[in-house]
């Protein structure tokens, strides 16, 4: 009986091994790692987004003098928070780290990187590298000159209303989203895109829109996305630590829809830049009028359902009558801009709530409420 059981186990191992070998490489990696992780930069090739002339945050006089209430702390603990940070009046008011992480550790942004790409598009427009948000994508990518894609303009990508065919599925190891994350040829994926609708008619959250924007930026500026972010953003906002942008392969393309790896303190600078209406130390980094539109609802999208939750790669939360722009990643990576409090909130971690209130995960509301409670 024991020998028979061993034979069956051996057969199953061999059978599964053969299936694994026959899988596409991205599916192999998906099965190997099972789920995406905030430390996935360790398994990818990366390009450095270099910091220089760092400007450390001041600490407020009340730094860490206040405690979160039990109900808010329970939410932080339940979703495996690694960092919770509040910047008030350009100084750190509250800062806590968990699960062995510290202010020096970098973490994957996941889709919060989309908001960074959105800002870089604004920089490229300011520099004249891109004419405007109404410039056709086909001016940069020849594959967009046909099959209806010639009608797509930059704004359609920014607002997730391109009409491109793309299934945003995270748990399926065979999905295009999994291929984009674990695969090694993002440019080929962009080149082979097809249409599934008409531009500017319907909001449909698709990571590929951001990836197309990244290719546009690369061609328009003549630089890699990481180098452009280094020269036009990271160094200008006083980042203290080099960031890493994960690539699809060595020397390849940035996974622009995700995978910008930075510290909580440096992520807060992205929020502070938006809070400053695109200025840093009195100098324009991103045009103020672009920031205004980017962080306002894209109500101009011609769908039956009003878009009141998204702008140019930035989510917008309507909370107690306040419109709060925020960047968002799939495991609860958040950068909130609280304009009425002149504050920025960063939450990083390993999980987020699976229950939604409208277009927003429920835990988003908990973190915003916690921040307002501390800012009273």
SS (H, E, C) the chain: CHHHHHHHHHHHHHHHHHHHHHCCHHHHHHHHHCCCCCCHHHCCCEEEECCCCCCCCEECCCCCCCCCCHHHHHHHHHCCEEEEEEEECCEEEEEEECCCCCCCCCEECHHHHHHHHHHHHHHHHHCCCCCCCCCEHHHCCHHHCCCCHHHCEHHHHHCCCCCECCCCCCCCCCCHHHHHHHCCCHHHHHHCCCECCCCCCCCCCCHHHHHHHHHHHHHHHCCCHHHHHHHHHHCCCCCCCCEEEEECCCCCCECCCCCEEECHHHHHHHHHHHHCCCEECCEECCCHHHHHHHCCCCCCCCCCCCCCCECCCCEEEEECCEEEEEEEECCCEEEEEEHHHCEEEEEEECCCCCCEECCEEHHHHHHHHHHHHHCC
pLDDT grade for 198, boundaries at 50, 70 and 90: very high
Task: Write the pLDDT tens digit of every residue in 34-67.
Answer: 578 999 999 999 999 999 989 999 999 999 999 8
Mean pLDDT for all residues in the chain: 92
Q: Average pLDDT for residues 356-369, to the nearest whole number?
A: 96
User: What's residue 30's pLDDT?
Assistant: 53
pLDDT-based confidence at 32, cuts 50/70/90?
A: low
- Closest-CA residue to 285 (of 89, 48, 87, 126): 126
Q: What's the pLDDT tens digit per position in 239-295? A: 999 999 999 999 999 999 999 999 999 999 999 999 999 999 999 999 999 999 999
Instruction: List pLDDT tens digits, range 122-164.
Output: 999 999 999 999 999 999 999 999 999 999 999 999 999 999 9
Half-sphere exposure of 102 (CA within 13 A, CB side): 1
Q: Residue 302: what pLDDT?
A: 79
As a whole number of angstroms, the distance between CA 172 and CA 304 comes to: 30
Displacement of CA 3 from its chain's centroid (Å): 52
Res. 24: pLDDT tops 90:
no
Does the reported pTM lie above 0.75?
A: yes
Give the pLDDT confidence of 100-111 residue by residue, as tens digits: 999 999 999 999
> For a pLDDT cut of 90, what percent of the chain falls above it?
85
C-alpha span between 338 and 218 (Å, rounded)? 32
Task: Give the residue from 106, 84, 113, 115 showing the smallest Cα distance to 39.
Answer: 106
Residue 16 pLDDT grade (very low, low, confident, very high; cuts 50, 70, 90): very low
Q: Could you give phi then psi for residue 118, rounded to 5 degrees?
A: -55, -40
The pLDDT confidence band at residue 20, using thresholds 50, 70 and 90, is very low
Distances in Å between the Cα of 259 and the Cα atoms of 64, 180, 216, 232 are: 30, 11, 18, 19
In whole angstroms, give the CA distance from residue 57 to residue 317.
Answer: 26
Q: How far is CA 310 from the centre of its chain?
A: 13
Closest CA to 121 of 113, 110, 133: 133
Q: Where are the alpha helices (DSSP H) in 23-98?
A: 25-33, 70-78
List the structure tokens of 161. Answer: 């209303």
Which pLDDT band, with edges at 50, 70 and 90, does 114 fall under? very high
Confidence of residue 172 (pLDDT cuts 50, 70, 90): confident
pLDDT of residue 18: 53
Can you give the pLDDT at residue 33? Answer: 55
β-partners of residue 81 are: 349
SS3 82: strand
The predicted structure's pLDDT at residue 277: 98
pLDDT greater than 60 at residue 13: no
- Residue 335 predicted with pLDDT over 70: yes
Q: Strand pairing partners for 334?
A: 328, 347
Predicted confidence at residue 15, as pLDDT, reads 47
Of 12-21, 82-91, 180-189, the range with the lowest mean pLDDT is: 12-21
């Amino acid at each position: 009986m024991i020998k028979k059981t061993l034979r069956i186990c051996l057969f199953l191992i061999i059978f599964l091994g053969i299936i694994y070998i026959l899988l596409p490489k991205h599916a192999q990696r998906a099965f190997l790692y099972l789920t995406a992780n905030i430390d996935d930069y360790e398994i990818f090739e990366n390009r450095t987004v270099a910091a220089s002339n760092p400007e450390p945050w001041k600490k407020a006089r009340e730094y860490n003098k206040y405690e979160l209430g039990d109900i808010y702390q329970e939410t932080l603990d339940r979703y495996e928070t690694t960092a919770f940070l509040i910047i008030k009046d350009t100084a750190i008011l509250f800062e806590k780290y968990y699960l062995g992480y510290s202010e020096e550790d970098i973490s994957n942004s996941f889709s919060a990187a989309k908001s960074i790409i959105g800002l870089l598009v604004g920089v490229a427009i300011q520099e004249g590298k891109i004419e405007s948000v109404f410039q056709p994508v086909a001016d940069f990518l020849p594959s967009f000159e046909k099959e209806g894609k010639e009608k797509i303009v930059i704004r359609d990508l920014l607002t997730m209303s391109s009409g491109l065919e793309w299934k945003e599925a995270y748990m399926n190891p065979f999905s295009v989203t999994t291929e984009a994350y674990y695969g090694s040829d993002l440019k080929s994926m962009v080149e082979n895109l097809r249409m599934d609708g008409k531009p500017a008619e319907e909001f449909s959250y698709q990571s590929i829109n951001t990836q197309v924007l990244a290719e546009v930026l690369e061609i328009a500026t003549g630089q890699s996305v990481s180098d452009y972010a280094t020269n036009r953003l990271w160094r200008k906002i006083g980042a203290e630590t080099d960031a890493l942008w994960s690539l699809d392969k060595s020397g390849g393309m940035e996974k622009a829809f995700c995978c910008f790896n930075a510290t909580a303190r440096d992520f807060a600078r992205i929020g502070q830049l938006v809070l400053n209406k695109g200025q840093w130390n009195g100098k324009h980094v991103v045009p103020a009028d672009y920031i205004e539109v980017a962080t306002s609802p894209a109500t101009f999208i011609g769908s039956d359902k009003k878009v009141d939750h998204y702008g140019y790669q930035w989510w917008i939360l309507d909370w107690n009558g306040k419109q709060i722009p925020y960047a968002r990643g799939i495991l609860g990576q958040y950068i909130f801009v609280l304009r009425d409090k002149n504050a920025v909130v960063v939450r990083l971690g390993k999980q987020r709530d699976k229950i939604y209130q409208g277009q927003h995960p429920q835990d988003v509301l908990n973190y915003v409420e916690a921040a307002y409670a501390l800012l009273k």
